Every structure is written in structure tokens, then in C-alpha cells.
Chain A
């Protein structure tokens, strides 16, 4: 296998609604990533794009529709999809191509335009459920999150206050992110008193729906050495998918994520992730998910993530900074673009280019993770300088 480097990253603003079409957002993010890498579109051998369910924008060949905005015209081009896990899966699918020698330079794009769907983008999620056994009950995506959150709280005796600390931290971190949609200084009390949507989930426990795009450029080792003094290496990738029978597994712990993480750790020769991962961008569409995912990634023991959060370990100046970007809760959640934002953040952090968001301790190795569909997908990328 060849070594694979990240050599550039770019993104648009994340906002509830944008004037730009999906193609235009994909172009803006991709152009910025190519500019950072000092590359022209003709240097790009192949393009991989990720975008979430077609129902958001009602174009049921979204990959092909977005192709020219992602720079894929007349090139080997692929769209990949694993629900919310897509954002961190796109670079994995691109990594295959460079590691195998199929391509030297791959443009990797995450795009999401959620705003067109009326009356609310939330409605699109109805189409992911089992039509026979679940939809007749009036199921919403919020039900399954709140059911998982409640189960997690029950098994590990976690309080709503502990969970709210994550929203407070991430929205505050996002104050330093130029793309951020919901950056704010809020308190635990604000979260607890926010309107209940699907208890225990309250308004401020949830990330917003967003429009946005993010992109990175991957290159083989010889290309990377030629075009940059500062490549960031992808040293581990992992992915794992459980069945859609989500009512048949214990929702307190994401086993599929543990398997995905272990796959990536093996590849990166990591035996003690808690000690060897310097910081992580974990998937946080809801605040409890950050805790859940820290445990699935074995960055905390089961039930231990709330304690680490309380003790400040996961703050930007802590021993194990989690979501220094501000995460989905603060920066926004244009689904596939949000996962790619995490990849970009790990890249910028490792190069020391994160500005006010730069974590305090020196960092050499970071992790990005996403999750999705019916609580069944884990995708993990490890990067090193």
C-alpha cells in the first residue's frame, strides 16, 4: 500500500439557507482546497463526492447532478453514501484509490443542500425508516436519537447536566470558527431550559440543519513531497455497518464504531488510543453523541466520557481536546460536508493552521469520526504529521 497525504482543504460558510446551489457550494469548497494545495483541476486524477439522502433536494441522481461543481467532469468520479457517516467515508473511498495506485491526486468533496425541502428538512428523514413496521407509527429521526440518549443515560447513570456540558463547550469553541452557524456562549442551564423537542432531547442538545460544502485533496507520497513541505498523512482508516434492526441491539454502546475504530487503530499501529490520539473530531449531531462516540472510539471507558467532560479534559486546553472546531453543534450540520469539516479541522490542527482554534498542547496525531443511518454506521480516519 502506498502512503497517502492530505495536501489541502477548503470549505464554505455553513448556514441554514444559502443562495448558492449545491454545485456552486461544491465548487467554492473544492476550489479553495485546490488553491491551498497549489493544484489545477487538470492535475486531479479522480474525484470522490459524498452527499446525504437525495430527499433533501429532490434530485434523485445527486452525485451526477453535482459532478461539475465537484470538478468531476470527464474524470473517474464516484459518489459514496453511508448516511451521516458519509462525510468521513468520502476520504476513505478516496484513500483506496491513492493507496492502491489507481490515482495520484484525488479531490474529495462533501456537499449538502438541506434547505429546499418544505416545510422542514427534518421531513426527509422519514424516508429512511422501515415502511411496514416503523413509518405507520409516525416515527421521526428525533425519536431514535432520544431513545438512544435515554438508554445511554440509564445504563451509565448520566445526567442531562453532564450531557449539556458538551453543547456548551462545542458552541463556545465554534465562536472561533469562521464558518460557524450556531456559535454561542451558553450555559448548562440554557440547555436544560430550552424547549423539549423529544425528551430527553431539547432544542440546544441538537445541531441545526444546514447548507454547506467542504473539500480536501489527497495525494500520493511522491506528489505530496513535491508540492508541499507539510503533508499530513492518513495512517489509519476504518468503517463498519450494523444491521437496520436497531431495536435489537443495546443502544447504550456503539459496537459497530468500536469495530471501525479498531480497524483504523490496527492500521495506524495504535494500541492505547486514549494515550496515543492527541485530539479528536468526533461526530456530534446531538451533544450526547460526543460522549457515546468517545466511548465507542475507546478514548474513554464505557460511561467515563461525562466525567472527562466535567473535568475539562475535552476542552481545547485539556489533555484530550474533543471537537476543537466547535463540531456540528456549533459550526453546523450540512451532513456530508459536516464530516468533511472534521477531516479539514484535523488537517488544519496538525499543520498548526487552526488559528484561534488551535489546541494548546502540541499535536502529532488526530482522529475524525462520523456516524449515521439507523444508528448503525461508524467511519474513522486517523491522520498524522
Chain B
């Protein structure tokens, strides 16, 4: 559209500069709270659907497929497999999947002293000492490559 005649050139176009600073405080949720408490105890907790029996990580209050309440929280052994990874700023970030579990965790993988990271390598969670844990994912310091894989 052409400019209205009162505005003869675009140098008269105006704008207003301002900011929208937003701060948030999120509750972890019912299942998130259980997950956080598990991490504090050095456990990785998933949830199991009461209908199809599928196990989800992170845990969920409900099964997204059957849309019914989860029946229980189950401890998932801290041994997983690199599903995919990315390397940036000298750090390796991987999506780690666990056997028989839908979902997984995104976390830091400690580079092996010899050889390269590969999809399919088996990894295990290294938890921080109990007194340093805060109830979030950083309670796992990193995943490391399990020997003999």
C-alpha cells in the first residue's frame, strides 16, 4: 500500500522500541516430582501404563497412547545406548535410550579416552555424590562409555 499523503517519505516512519522481560517458575508436575525425587536417590524412574504395559521415560502421569493413568513408577537400570549424538564446544550431547523403554534422556556423554563416539555404544549413568544432588537431571553428572562394548 502506498503511504498516506501526510507521510511523504519513509524516513518519517516510526517505531517504538521496548522489551518484554518474562520470568517463569515451573512446577515439575506430579510425575516430574517423582522423577526428581528418584534422581535425588540416584535412581532413574520411568512410568508404566496400566493398560498396554509400555514403560515411558521421563515418566508420565498417563499413557499418551492409551490415555489412562500410569499404574506405577519403575526403576530403570542406568545402562543405555547412544541413539544419536552431537558434538559442540568440546562437549558431546546424546539421546540415550534404554532397553524396553519408550523415550530416553538427553545428556552429556564423556568422550572415551580411546576411539570415537558412535551410535549404538553402550553407556551408563554416573551420578553425583548424594549430598550434591538437587533433584534434577544434573544429578547425573554424565554418561560414560561402558567397557567391552
Contacts and interface: CB of A to CB of B under 8 A. Distances in A.
- Asked if A and B touch directly (CB within 8 angstroms), the answer is yes
Interface of A: 17-21, 23-24, 27, 30-31, 34, 40-41, 55, 57-58, 68-69, 71, 73, 115-119, 123-124, 126-127, 131-132, 135-136
Given A73-B65, A132-B14, A19 B23 contact: no
A19 B26 CA distance: 9
A135 to B, nearest CB: 6
A27 B14 CA distance: 46
Contacts of A20: 27, 29-30, 61
Q: Which 3 A-B pairs have the closest CB atoms?
A: A41-B67, A21-B29, A68-B64
Nearest to B27: A19
Nearest to B62: A27
Contact of A30 (B15, B26, B32, B67): B67
B22 A27 contact: no
A26 to B, nearest CB: 10
The residue in A20, A71, A131 that gathers the most chain B C-beta atoms within 10 A of its C-beta is A20
10 contacts: A17-B27, A19-B28, A27-B67, A31-B69, A41-B66, A73-B64, A116-B24, A123-B22, A132-B15, A136-B16
Contacts of B26: 21, 57, 116
A117 B24 contact: yes
Contacts of A126: 20
Contact of B20 (A23, A116, A127): A127
Interface in B1-46: 14-16, 18, 20, 22-33
Contacts of B69: 31
Nearest to B15: A132
Interface in B56-106: 61-62, 64-69
A20 B62 CA distance: 12
A123 B24 CA distance: 11
B27 A18 contact: yes
A204 to B, nearest CB: 27
A118 B33 CA distance: 21
A58 B18 contact: no
Contact of B67 (A34, A117, A127): A34
A34 B64 CA distance: 15
A24 B24 contact: no
A7 B43 CA distance: 43
A23 B20 CA distance: 26
A23 B30 CA distance: 10
A123 B21 CA distance: 10
A131 B19 CA distance: 10
Contacts of B30: 19-21, 24
A55 B22 CA distance: 8
The residue in B24, B31, B67, B69 that gathers the most chain A C-beta atoms within 10 A of its C-beta is B67
A20 B32 CA distance: 9
Given A117-B24, A131-B16, A21 B68 contact: no
